[in-house]
Amino acid sequence: MRKPTIQDVARRAGVGVGTVSRVLNNHAAVKGATRELVLQAIADLDYTPNPHARRIAGGKSYTISVLLPVVTTEFYVRLLDGLESAFQEARYDVAIFPLLDRSRLERYLGSHTLAYQADGLVMVTYNLTQLFNERRLRNQQPTVLVDAYAEGVDCAFMDNVTGGRLAGEYAARLPGELYAIWVETELDQLFTTRVFEERRAGFRAALQGSGRTLRAEFTASFDALAARNVATALLDEAQLPCTVFASADLLAGALLDEARGRGLTPGEDVRVIGFDDQPWAAARGLTTLHQPVEQMGHEAAQLLLSRLGGYRGPARARRFEPHLIVRDTA
């Protein structure tokens, strides 16, 4: 059985296709009774408009493309949740185009694939706008950047500098030596995220402001194994009691494990401040920075929706601030 079309609906309701279209798009000029008639026919036939046809006819397809790095991180799940729920309210669908690696990105940019045929585009973490400029890729459609910032584009991003500063101010008031573990920035120019250097900058600025200094700094890449190794290295050399700012909960968790393995008491021998407030952080009593990620996603969606709704004003930047959650470990 063929999918019902707008023609079928019109025929069944005994009206013209134009009227059906008006009902579909909430064009006020439809009489109440007629509207009911059409709605009934739509229900009877279980009709849904074809988004491709809508799009091609110059209307909206009610689809948003999200260019998303595929990384196994809670962060993106939460972000997606925020984006999705906001778009859903506005009856938009969200399609994700995975950015698995650089070559995939090139492909998306090189061709004007379906990702660029949606009503709007959400670009996450990676700031591709510079590429759009360089390559003269005419990205006509409304775009919003999330977890990234650029001039002239609507953005919603986390203020990681403030997050780092909050950690630094808190740590500065704690007794004992100060240590920090930073996350290594990736080499690839394009696929670089600046969040970790921002956290670092904020933390150092806070220490400086309070006249304290780090006894030593450590660096690790963002994976479980590196986290374990750096935890071991740090505790091998640390002078207790001490306070450690682990610039990601992944790092903090490994440090807690290692400390426990050595019979040390977190919050006394080793104070630990994480960053992210992962789902397990509360249960382990980790003092850490919570980021309003869902809100950021929600707001990003609103920015884009306002553009789709006709907003033509200047680019807006929405900054979100992490806040410190003090628990047992520091």
Return residues touching DNA (CB under 7 A): 2-3, 5-7, 14-22, 24-25, 27, 29-31, 33-35, 47-50, 53-54, 56-59
| Beta carbon nearer to DNA, 20 or 156 | 20
Q: Name the H helices within 66-159.
A: 74-89, 102-110, 129-134
| Beta carbon nearer to a second copy, 108 or 170 | 108
Evaluated on CA atoms 131, 133, 136, 139, the torsion sign reads positive
What dihedral angle (degrees, nearest 10) is formed by the CA atoms of 292, 294, 297, 301? -120
Q: Which two tokens mark 136?
A: 């003269």
* Range 81-110, binding a second copy (CB under 8 A): 81, 84, 88, 93-98, 100, 104, 107
Q: Which stretch binds a second copy (CB under 8 A): 50-58, 158-166, 169-177, 197-205?
A: 50-58
Q: What is the DSSP letter of 4?
A: P
Cβ of residue 206: shortest distance to a second copy, in angstroms? 29
Residue type, 157: F
Closest CA to 141 of 114, 116, 123: 116
Q: Which residues pair with 68 in a beta bridge?
A: 98
Cβ of residue 42: shortest distance to a second copy, in angstroms? 12
Cβ atoms of 315 and 304 within 8 Å: the answer is no
Q: 281 exposed, middle or buried (CB, 10 Å; 0-12, 13-18, 19+)?
A: buried
Taking CB under 8 A as the rule, which mask of x and - marks residues 209-248 in contact with a second copy?
--------------xxx--x--------------------
Confirm or reject binding of residue 143 to a second copy (CB under 8 A).
no
> Which residues contact a second copy (rule: CB under 8 A)?
1, 3, 48, 50-53, 55-56, 61, 63, 65, 70-74, 76-77, 80-81, 84, 88, 93-98, 100, 104, 107, 111-115, 117, 138, 140, 223-225, 228, 253, 257, 260-261, 279-280, 283-284
